[in-house]
Amino acid sequence: MALKVIPFKHQYAERFRDLNLQWIEKHFVVEPKDSNLLESCEENIIKPGGHIFFAKYDDVIVGCFAFIKLNDKAYELGKMSVDAKYQGLQIGQKLLDFAINFAKNEGWQKLVLYSSTRLNTALHIYRKFGFKEVPMDADSQYKRSDIKMERSLEQI
Give me the domains of the chain, ranges plus CATH numbers. Answer: 3-152 (3.40.630.30)
- The radius of gyration of the chain's CA atoms, rounded to the nearest angstrom, is 15
pLDDT in the model for residue 41:
97
DSSP state for residue 148 in the 8-state scheme = E
Which residues, other chains included, contact 95 with Cβ-Cβ below 8 Å and sequence gap of 6+?
5, 53, 55, 63, 64, 65, 80, 82
Q: What are 91-126's pLDDT values in tens digits?
A: 999 999 999 999 999 999 999 999 999 999 999 999
Q: Which of 1-10, 33-42, 121-130, 147-156 shows the lowest mean pLDDT across its residues?
A: 147-156
Average pLDDT (34-50) is 96
Q: Is the pLDDT of residue 142 over 90?
A: no
Residue 1: its pLDDT value, please?
Answer: 58
**What pairs with residue 101 in β-bridges?**
none
Diameter over CA atoms, the chain: 43
pLDDT for the residue 98 = 98
Q: Is the pLDDT of residue 156 over 70?
A: no
**Residue 155: pLDDT over 80:** no
* Residue 154 pLDDT grade (very low, low, confident, very high; cuts 50, 70, 90): confident
Q: Quote the pLDDT of residue 124.
A: 95
Confirm if 10 and 103 have CB atoms less than 8 A apart. no
Average predicted confidence (pLDDT) for the chain: 94
HSE, CB side, 13 Å, CA atoms: give it for residue 139. 0
Mean pLDDT of 3-22: 97
pLDDT of residue 17: 97
Record the pTM.
0.95
CA distance 80 to 52: 10
